[in-house]
Amino acid sequence: MLVFEFKAYGKSAQLSAINDAIRTAKFIRNSCIRLWMDFKGTGKNDLQKYCAVLAANFPFADELNSMARQASAERAWSSISRFYDNCKKRKVCRGDTPPGELCKKGIPGLKGYPQFVKDCRSVEYKTSGWKLADDRKCINFSDKKGIGRLKLKGTRDLHFYQINQIKRVRLVKRADGVYVQFCIDVDRSEDIEPTGNTVGLDVGLKEYYTDSSGVMVENPKFLRKGEKVLKRSQRRVSRKVKGSRNRGKARQILGNRHLKISRQRKDHAVKLARCVVQSNDLIAYEDLRIKNMVKNHCLAKSINDASWYQFRIWLEYFAKVFKRVTVAVNPQYSSQECSSCGEIVKKTLSTRTHVCSCGCVMDRDENAARNILGRGLGTVGHTGTFALDASKRLGR
């Protein structure tokens, strides 16, 4: 699945209609969650049928396209099914384990109970309710919300694909305007010559990553560099009166600042991941649990700023596109173990040089990268943890 995004331009009345459609989609999703909470045994089909009930009882819900209402119900069911899947992984032993305690195979922590959405920023249409112009530069939404004809501006060419290949159309609201996303049913695949290279990657905060060859990539630290401007923009918002037009303008500027940093992170991760995948036949990296790592409040901001998870997702996506192999390995003791003799050399985080009794002296991260590559080459039949559904989470 490919996702092409275009900037949408319209009049103020059309933008207000888009906001109304997004609020309606949020209402339908939250109503479906409430139905599931109130009535035990509610399934996916029950939520789909409930959309017609909401349309009959609420005129503003009836104005939204029927398939858009169904897409909102599907979003609600997606959160419910994810909760069910997480609960199945939480296995409780009925034998020697006391009731209520997890066995060794259980997964501790919260299971993601479905929550009501407070801030929804998109509405999704399926195959009806919209029509592309012949030149593919305009789109017309024909439901009763009154969105009408929007002009599209972007670098992608939709002429390469048939209309029946477009399975979803999303209206997404961001700080700098409204965007239209087209979800196209196409399997992306590219053939490139094998390189014969293998690489192990050790991510960090000082350097973005260090590979097994000793190559280090600098950490851009986009949030740290833009933090001064963000703080100034936040202070301007705090000084304005709540509900005033000036406060709204200040919030708009602050949102644009955050959006710029987010786009910088994504652009950096995409370009770097593509370069790594095209240059190597096998990529081994650490199977890090970022959710647990950010519980350290001293490093949480720096870890989130590095966006390791996004880099990993794009690595696995491009590996699928270019038919490369990605291997996620256990990161335990990768920095302590000597890559030359295998001896465990204890060191603190402040110790940046690995010195072993066997005479091996090298950078700590390079030593870890070599261990990661060795573990990756020794792993058979296990590729990246998220490789199979990486394209779904990227919307590709």
Residue 283 confidence class, pLDDT cut points 50, 70, 90: very high
Mean pLDDT of 1-29: 94
Statement: residue 362 has pLDDT above 90: no
Is 90 exceeded by the pLDDT of residue 364? no
Q: Give the least confident one: 130-139, 267-276, 282-291, 342-351.
A: 342-351
Sheet holding 122-125, edge to edge: 122-125, 166-174, 177-184, 2-9, 148-153, 138-141, 130-132
Q: How far apart are CA 129 and CA 139, in angstroms?
A: 10
Segment 198-206 shows an average pLDDT of: 90
Of the two residues 377 and 7, the one the predictor is more confident about is 7
Position 382 pLDDT exceeds 70: no
The pLDDT tens digits for 85-104 are 888 876 543 344 444 444 44
CA 309 to chain centre: 8
Q: Calculate helix-pair angle for 12-38, 44-57, nearest 10 degrees.
A: 130
Mean pLDDT (the chain) is 87
Global pTM reads 0.82
As a whole number, mean pLDDT of residues 270-290 equals: 91
Give the pLDDT confidence of 212-247 residue by residue, as tens digits.
Answer: 888 899 999 999 999 999 999 999 999 999 989 999
What is the tens place of the pLDDT at every residue in 104-162? Answer: 445 566 778 899 999 899 999 998 999 999 889 999 999 899 999 999 999 888 888 89
Q: Which residues pair with 355 in a beta bridge?
A: 361
What φ, ψ does residue 392 adopt, rounded to 5°?
-70, -40
Return the higher-pLDDT residue of 350 and 267. 267
Q: Would you state the pLDDT for residue 109?
A: 64
On the question of pLDDT at 30 being above 50, the answer is yes
> What is the percent of the chain where pLDDT is above 70?
91
Q: Which of 153-157, 167-171, 377-381 has the highest mean pLDDT?
A: 167-171
Q: Do 3 and 396 contact (CB within 8 A), yes or no? A: yes
pLDDT band at 390 (very low <50, low <70, confident <90, very high): very low
Angstrom distance (rounded) from CA 166 to CA 154:
17
Domain layout of the chain by residue ranges: 2-184, 198-217+268-393
Averaged pLDDT for residues 165-171: 93
